[in-house]
Amino acid sequence: MSLARAPFAVPRLLNLPPGWTASVYARVDHARFLSPTPDGAILVSQPGAGTVLLVRRQADGTGAVSQFITGLNGPHDIVIAEVSGRTWVFISQADRVVRYPYATGDSHARAGEVVVDGLPDASTPELRGQYAHVLKNIAVHDGTLYVSIASTCNACAEDTRSDPQRAAIYRYDAGGTNAGRRLVARGLRNAEGLAFVPGTDQLWAVVNNRDNTRVPDDRDVDGDGTGDRGKLMPEFVDDYPVEPFVQVRDGAFFGWPFCNPAADPSRRNLGFDRDYDLNADGTAADCGRATRIDVGLPAHTAPLGLTFTQGTAAPDLGAVVALHGSWNRTTPVGYQLVHFPWSAGGPGEQRDLATGWLDPVTHQPWGRPVDVAVDTDGSLLVSDDLAGALMRLTPPRR
């Protein structure tokens, strides 16, 4: 498959830090989440095709793509972790999580073991074939599997009453079928990137927040001198609410669907507004008691992958977040990689890492970054489900 087929049939430009370079590493249609293997390959999911692919570097520096496993039900997130002294590939599917033993040089998945079964998907009777965010995301840490079960809707109370709750993160024993299930945090509409800060027990997540939120109070949005409570206004919706970037604390409630992160120029330590449609009088949820949002990413930027680079061969960028890009904002935003320098106190200020997927003149994207993985040489591999590619971002030699 030609690396130079569309959208790379014409020159494309990414804006990177000084000394960094970009290249096309491999072509993978609808490439989603990534995981590096212990022996230097990369696994990449294709949910619509039911496939996970294996990409190994060739002598010319590009990636050779082969099938690792097929016939899955919406495979999405991939995590490789050691559990009980053995290396496993954990793959989340729409309705389950399965782990597969992995050994150096494996080109195909071995026989798998179901770790979690019966996760809600479109076949769940109460959903009648409709599930807006059916794909699951996962993390594994110290023998425990964490699963994000996203919302079925933009905003609905039904997900808060289901079993398991949706818009929530659960934990399970990483070595047994449905063992040890426990609710960890709720009110996370669609937690995509889940990752532990290296060397710690801190789980962080980036979240796709809701759309089409009505003005929650009497603020004058359009400047005509009257309050706009209850109105659905593009000039308000464009920047509200932010996309949460949060530490997933045990027992936390992050607001959705009853409470929306309040606007604040700092986008830090955010409180909440009552949702006009579902909690106008405050009886559905006490927004004053919801867990505050650590960091707010710009509204509608659609954060997906979250990767920490501390302790890897890559430069110490802290947390790298792929912003997939907006679909309904008046002026599109996102379509970039950002990073947060990290310290003992958590994330520093947001910085651009890679931009240019969005044409500044036409405001049309030629690509949409999904996830980031660190390669053995310290470069960053970026999956792109619109361009159908894995791209390599190479830092300057140190």
Write the single-letter amino acid at 331. Answer: T
- Residue 268 pLDDT > 90, yes or no? yes
- For residue 374, tell me if it sits in a domain: yes
Q: How far apart are CA 99 and CA 87, in angstroms?
A: 10
Burial code (b: 16+ CB inside 10 Å, e: under 16) for 296-333 equals bbbbbbbbbbbbbbeebebbebbbbbbbbbbeebeebb
> Is the CB of residue 306 less than 8 Å from the CB of residue 184?
no
The pLDDT of residue 1: 59
Q: How far apart are CA 15 and CA 26, in angstroms?
A: 20
127: helix, coil or strand?
Answer: helix
The pLDDT of residue 398: 64
- For residue 12, tell me if it sits in a domain: no
End-to-end CA distance of the chain: 33
Burial code (b: 16+ CB inside 10 Å, e: under 16) for 16-46 equals beeebebebbbbbebbbbbbbbeeebbbbbb
pLDDT tens, 15-24?
A: 999 999 999 9
pLDDT tens, 89-141?
A: 999 999 999 999 999 999 999 999 999 999 999 999 999 999 999 999 999 99
Considering the chain, what is the average pLDDT of its residues? Answer: 97
pLDDT confidence band for 177 (50 / 70 / 90) = confident
pLDDT tens, 26-61?
A: 999 999 999 999 999 999 999 999 999 999 999 999
- For residue 184, tell me if it sits in a domain: yes
- For residue 187, tell me if it sits in a domain: yes
The pLDDT of residue 158: 97
- For residue 6, tell me if it sits in a domain: no
pLDDT confidence band for 2 (50 / 70 / 90) = confident
The pLDDT of residue 63: 98
- For residue 1, tell me if it sits in a domain: no
Structural domain containing residue 256? 21-394
- Residues whose CB is less than 8 angstroms from the CB of residue 237 and which lie 6 or more positions away in sequence, other chains included: 211, 212, 213
**How many domains is the chain partitioned into structurally?**
1
- For residue 204, tell me if it sits in a domain: yes
Average pLDDT over residues 269-288: 98
Average pLDDT over residues 191-214: 97
What is the pTM (predicted TM-score) of this model? 0.97
- For residue 5, tell me if it sits in a domain: no
pLDDT tens, 136-175?
A: 999 999 999 999 999 999 999 999 999 999 999 999 999 9
List the CATH number of the domain containing 240.
2.120.10.30
